[in-house]
């Protein structure tokens, strides 16, 4: 997503929690392609997480563009702590998932609103799992459903400012997860899509870039299924 938006001319703040090397690699890749980006560290789900993000974000925007102003916010950060039967979900697991996947994007958006120009774009990344019953992923799906409520209600709230707010819901996407290297697992998940393959990051990034563009100015409050047909049944 960062590379795709940078390719469209955006100055991109690449947020990371722990993997500084990966963030810097993304920034360098963007720069090598002629784009502009800078890294920002903040670990969501910890005290002061949003303050840390915006301290680095505003400093980076001012340094690279001369003003701490935003046109696009993509709430993509999230965690998946693995399958857990409902009977085995602990309060600690529940609180951690909600803190990172639901609480953080709400307060990041809240803090971004004074910086976001009228006519701006907010894209929230949910999951196709909010439309499927998978008991082992109940808490994850709950946290992502909360993100969809941010979209729904803020789309109405921010309409007078011509700011669009939309949800993108990916299915299984090849982001380098270890379990996707197991051939049988990969085949099984690929067969759940209409196209017989797992999504590449670019399949999702292209949709995000469209929703962030001027061409999507008349779309707001939408849930965009980017699961490759996995929800067709």
The continuous run of DSSP H or E covering 122 comes out as strand 116-125
Chain centroid offset of residue 97 CA? 15
16 is catalytic: no
Q: Give the whole-angstrom CA distance, residue 61 versus residue 212.
A: 18
Q: For the stretch 72-91, what's the b/e string if a residue is b when 16 or more beta carbons lie within 10 angstroms of its beta carbon?
A: bbbbbbbbbeeebeeeeeee
- Do the beta carbons of residue 20 and residue 41 sit within 8 Å? yes
Question: Given 37, 50, 140, 226, which residue is catalytic?
Answer: 140
- Give the integer Cα–Cα distance in Å for 206 and 212: 10
Active site residues: 140
């Amino acid at each position: 997503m960062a590379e795709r938006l940078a390719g469209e001319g955006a100055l991109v703040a690449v947020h990371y929690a722990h993997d500084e090397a990966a963030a810097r690699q993304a920034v360098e890749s963007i720069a090598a392609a002629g784009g502009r980006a800078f890294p920002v560290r903040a670990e969501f789900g910890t005290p002061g997480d949003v303050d840390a993000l915006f301290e680095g974000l505003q400093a980076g925007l001012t340094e690279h563009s001369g003003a701490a102003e935003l046109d696009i916010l993509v709430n993509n950060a999230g965690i998946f702590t693995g399958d857990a039967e409902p009977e085995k979900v602990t309060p600690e697991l529940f609180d951690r998932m909600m803190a990172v996947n639901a609480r953080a994007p709400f307060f990041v958006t809240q803090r971004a609103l004074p910086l976001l120009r009228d006519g701006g774009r907010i894209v929230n990344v949910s999951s196709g799992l909010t439309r499927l019953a998978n008991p082992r992923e109940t808490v994850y799906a709950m946290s992502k459903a909360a993100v969809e409520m941010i979209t729904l209600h803020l789309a109405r709230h921010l309409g007078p400012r011509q700011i669009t707010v939309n949800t993108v819901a990916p299915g299984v996407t090849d982001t380098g997860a270890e379990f996707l290297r197991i051939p049988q697992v990969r085949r099984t998940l690929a067969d759940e899509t209409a196209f017989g393959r797992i999504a590449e990051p670019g399949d999702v990034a292209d949709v995000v870039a469209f929703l962030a563009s001027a061409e999507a100015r008349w779309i707001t409050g939408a849930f965009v299924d980017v699961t490759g047909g996995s929800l067709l049944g």
